[in-house]
Amino acid sequence: MRCHTGWFPSQKTVLAAAVAAVAMGSIPSFAQSENNDALHLEEVVVTGRAGAGDTTKMDISHSVTTKSADDIESQAPLSATDFLKAVPGLWVEASGGEANGNVRARGIPVDGFGSVALYEDNLPLQHDSGLSWLNADQVFRLDDTVELVEAVRGGPSSIFASNAPGGIINVITKKGSDTPEGSIKMTVGDYGLRRGDFFYGGPINDDWKIALGGYYRTDDSIREPGFTANDGGQFRVTLSREMDKGRLDISYRHLNDRNFFALPLPLTNDGSGDPAGIPGFDPNTGTTLSPQVQNFTLKLPDGNRIEDLSDGTHVQLSQFTVNFEYELNDDWTLINRTRVRDSDISRNSAFPNTPNAAASSLDAYRNNALAAFSDAVDIRAQYVTSGDVVPANSNGNGLLMTHNFTSVKTPLREFINDFQLGTSVNIGEQTHNLTFGVYFANYDREFQRHAATYLSDVKSQPALVDVLAIDAAGNVVGSVTDNGVLRYGSRYQQADDEGRASAFYIADEWVLNDELRIDLGIRWEEIDVRGVAERASNFDLGDSSTLADDNVSAGNGEFVPFDRSFNDISWTVGSNYALNEDSALFARYTKAFRLPNSADFRLNPNRDIQAQDITQLETGYKLLSEELSLFATVFYSEFDNVEFTNTIFDSATNSTSTQREFAKTETLGLELETVWSPTELFDIAATITWQDAEFKDFEFNQVDEQNNVTQVSFTGNRPIRIPDFAMRLRPALNLLDDQLRLYLEYEYNSDRYVDAANSRILPEYSVWNIGASYQLDDNLRLIFSGKNLDNEIGLTEGNPRAGQFTSTDTGSVYLARPIFGRAFTLSVKYEF
């Protein structure tokens, strides 16, 4: 089902609605005996603040979305990133699978988790959530040990967290209590999913409590690659002790998981301009991965290496965390949180490049083949496994496609400590809740990337294709490829680096009276990064029968050191005014930053780079009544010194070129989160985000292959892959005395652009989901979920390797990454 942009509100209408929401502050109290607190407005907030005492969402001066364990289970997300679609202000791309998602907060055009910090129990899972090739979501999975998730946007996140100008996503885990409790859940899906979750929490003795749980899962993926796509699990155990004046939590988490990485697919457009599959390829379930390249041989100067594509993103992580809180006396409270992480992470993937007609593909290889093999008069394409000649109209499309097989190793060891002292000071009838904090992080990372280019036909689970040089009699006299490989070692990078960050912060929650609060905060942070990056050279491995090993990129033993230091200051001021018991207004101004990290120097140790500065403003309105919960925020952000990397793959030379430019962005937007419950039988939840984002001062000189210089301006264009409008509506019915809950979910995303030039559009799309939960008795529950019921082809990104400044992927057949096709899951959960 396709929606039309014209149906949705204009920018002026949206702004008028925002003004109206603020004006609602003059409406009298909606006080009732019981409020509809579906947005958790009366619950205590623990993220983005560190003041003494407890503060609810009705009292804070920034935007927070809270999701309980029941909320998460009802949504039945396919991944942690997929779950964040329920948070307004975030544009989420979860089409890559269970890991390696992209999250953009409030128009900030930074990929991965580069602008949003991912936390667990008030500590970062990774000091920098956006390290290159190492997003923080790779090392976290949702399971039944999660109690709730708090998602802070903007506001104070840059005071209490590093590299988090867009927000903090804080996952709070379950702790043991005096009463034993637990659950066992089994889940099956129509894509080969088999999953088991468990949790147990309770007392060990009078002093100590325990909580433990985790999951194990295996599946074939909705895009079945011909081998097991996802396989692995997670285990967590937490020991807790409550003391007269404090609390101690000691936890250990181990993750060993292999995850399929979905990539762009070949598409075309139907008669109305909407994306459609090409002959022989289903965009809802197809994949460009194949069992033929599952065990891929990389031929290198120092020997051959076999990489298993079924490993996908393989994470082996051990994490220890100690949280300690203690009241030193009646005035001061000490909090210290420590996390130690040891992880080995590898990513094996095959990035496709834009398909071409078979004749055009062969033309690109003919001259080199005829020059290399003296008896050759022509070339032909044939399948590696069968030896059959590739027919002119193979798979009904007659296309061939190159792929960049990429193997990346990124082991990371990390130590993080956050120390806080808090006190409450009364001055007359006013109270200052003060926090003084010191943060320290140290990480040590290795990085190694090998890449090779291979050729295939175009279908789901494609077949490898050889390009052979033939003489006048049709005999093979040489080969452009080697078992389908066009170039071993098409790219190489190696670096060993480390970073050391120190920060000091002060926050004050100033309570002037029962109605008015003012929040102040300042953070100074410095990071020192150092390491060595190895230079690469091209090597001929000496096999005269093929061209595939003539130009292998690998390390040459020359290491270039780097040692850099950066620091900056962020500060914020906010206020919250209670109009009455049920509604409040808030406003906030923030100056934030994002510092470079060691990965920024992996390609160029001598590169010139600076901290990124961000200015943010927000104002909002909160309402809690018997029937309605509402949280509305108008926001503005200005992002300076944003770096854009334009990486283009050249199929003719099987090589990659990179161009970097800097720009500014500016975004004005509205977030709306609401739940309306007119009766006990019916409720409807909605999250809406409207944003007007554009480039500022984005001008540069572009040099073509003939060294001609053209001045290009993208000022005023919309940043890459950011929609103007996104909405989720979820009406639900509560039947059979609340034993049965049914919901229908509608998701809409307006169009986006593939590139900064705004030359290729990603069309608007809408998705329908359904779900049900049935309580069989006090202990047993059934949970059903159906995703993308009408198999919508919703595109979340184009082909990054065709250029992110101006896309070269403009033909009738192009690459883009769609959302996953229709899928169903069913869970049985036993709770005690």
Q: What is the pLDDT of residues 223-280, one digit of tens each?
A: 999 999 999 999 999 999 999 899 999 999 999 999 999 999 999 998 888 899 999 9
Tokens coding 129: 């959530």
Of residues 77, 256, 250, 46, the one with CA closest to residue 160: 46
Residue for token pair 């943060």? 439
Looking at residue 10, its pLDDT comes to 43
312 vs 708, which has greater pLDDT?
A: 312
| CATH label of the domain that carries residue 238 | 2.40.170.20
Quote the DSSP letter at residue 718: P
Looking at residue 558, its pLDDT comes to 93
Integer-rounded Cα Rg, in Å, for the chain is 28
User: What is the three-class DSSP state of 553?
Assistant: strand
Tell me the C-alpha distance between 577 and 515, whole Å: 5
Of residues 225, 235, 226, the one with CA closest to residue 257: 235
Mean pLDDT lowest among 3-12, 373-382, 578-587: 3-12
Q: Check pLDDT > 60 for residue 28.
A: no
Looking at residue 681, its pLDDT comes to 94
The answer to whether 485 and 496 have CB atoms below 8 angstroms apart is: no
Looking at residue 589, its pLDDT comes to 96
Of residues 307, 311, 296, the one with CA closest to residue 258: 311
DSSP string, 220-251: --SS--SS--EEEEEEEEEEEEEETTEEEEEE
Taking CA 327 as the corner, what is the angle to CA 321 and CA 333, rounded to the nearest 5 degrees? 75
Tell me the C-alpha distance between 590 and 584, whole Å: 20
> 22: part of which helix (H) or strand (E)?
helix 11-23
Domain span holding position 381: 5-831
Q: Could you tell me which residues come within 8 angstroms of residue 480 by beta carbon, excluding any fewer than 6 positions away?
A: 365, 368, 369, 379, 466, 467, 468, 469, 486, 546, 547, 548
Q: Check pLDDT > 80 for residue 801.
A: no
Residue for token pair 């947005």? 39
Q: Check pLDDT > 70 for residue 14.
A: no
819 vs 603, which has greater pLDDT?
A: 819
Tell me the C-alpha distance between 272 and 463, whole Å: 32
Number of domains in the chain: 1
Looking at residue 633, its pLDDT comes to 96
Question: Please, which pLDDT band fits residue 110 given cuts at 50, 70 and 90?
Answer: confident
The answer to whether 79 and 87 have CB atoms below 8 angstroms apart is: no
Quote the DSSP letter at residue 462: P
Taking CA 493 as the corner, what is the angle to CA 490 and CA 494, rounded to the nearest 5 degrees? 145
Question: Please, which pLDDT band fits residue 809 given cuts at 50, 70 and 90?
Answer: confident
Tokens coding 632: 């509305």
Task: Give percent above pLDDT 90 in the chain.
Answer: 71
Tell me the C-alpha distance between 446 and 738, whole Å: 53
Looking at residue 2, its pLDDT comes to 42
Tell me the C-alpha distance between 114 and 105, whole Å: 10
Of residues 320, 324, 114, the one with CA closest to residue 237: 320
Tell me how far CA of residue 591 lies from CA of 250, 509, 565, in angstroms. 35, 18, 21
Q: Check pLDDT > 80 for residue 712.
A: yes
Tell me the C-alpha distance between 335 and 247, whole Å: 10
The answer to whether 631 and 685 have CB atoms below 8 angstroms apart is: no
Q: Check pLDDT > 50 for residue 12.
A: no
Looking at residue 652, its pLDDT comes to 61
Mean pLDDT lowest among 163-167, 200-204, 288-292: 163-167
Q: Check pLDDT > 60 for residue 21.
A: no
Tell me the C-alpha distance between 70 and 457, whole Å: 45
Tokens coding 487: 């170039």
144 vs 661, which has greater pLDDT?
A: 144
Tell me the C-alpha distance between 177 and 403, whole Å: 53
Tell me the C-alpha distance between 695 and 700, whole Å: 13
Residue for token pair 């503005």? 636
Cα torsion 190, 253, 120, 570: sign: negative
H, E, C per residue of 328-376: CCCCEEEEEEEEEEEEEEEEEEEEECCCEEHHHHHHHHHHHHHHHCCCC
Tokens coding 172: 């709070």
Half-sphere exposure of 189 (CA within 13 A, CB side): 23
Looking at residue 80, its pLDDT comes to 87
Tokens coding 637: 């952000």
What mean pLDDT comes out for the span 362-368?
92
Tell me the C-alpha distance between 301 and 545, whole Å: 17
> 83: part of which helix (H) or strand (E)?
helix 80-83
Q: Check pLDDT > 50 for residue 15.
A: no
Tokens coding 56: 């609810």
Q: What average pLDDT does the structure give for the chain?
A: 89
Looking at residue 273, its pLDDT comes to 81
The answer to whether 281 and 290 have CB atoms below 8 angstroms apart is: no
Mean pLDDT lowest among 112-126, 288-302, 645-659, 810-824: 645-659
Q: 493: which strand partners?
A: 449
DSSP string, 299-324: EETTEEEEEEGGGBEEEEEEEEEEEE
Question: Please, which pLDDT band fits residue 190 given cuts at 50, 70 and 90?
Answer: very high
Mean pLDDT lowest among 22-31, 376-385, 492-501, 672-681: 22-31
The answer to whether 525 and 568 have CB atoms below 8 angstroms apart is: yes
Q: Check pLDDT > 50 for residue 4.
A: no
Task: Please count the other Cβ atoms lying within 10 Å of the Cβ belonging to residue 657.
Answer: 11
Looking at residue 608, its pLDDT comes to 80
Quote the DSSP letter at residue 678: S
Looking at residue 644, its pLDDT comes to 65
Q: Check pLDDT > 80 for residue 29.
A: no
Question: Please, which pLDDT band fits residue 32 given cuts at 50, 70 and 90?
Answer: very low
Entry pTM = 0.90
Quote the DSSP letter at residue 72: H
Q: Check pLDDT > 50 for residue 17.
A: no
The answer to whether 41 and 740 have CB atoms below 8 angstroms apart is: no
Looking at residue 30, its pLDDT comes to 34
Tell me the C-alpha distance between 210 and 805, whole Å: 53
Q: 571: which strand partners?
A: 522, 591
Among 10-14, 38-42, 102-106, the range of highest mean pLDDT: 102-106
What mean pLDDT comes out for the span 49-74?
85
Of residues 584, 293, 611, the one with CA closest to residue 454: 293
Task: Give percent above pLDDT 70 in the chain.
Answer: 92
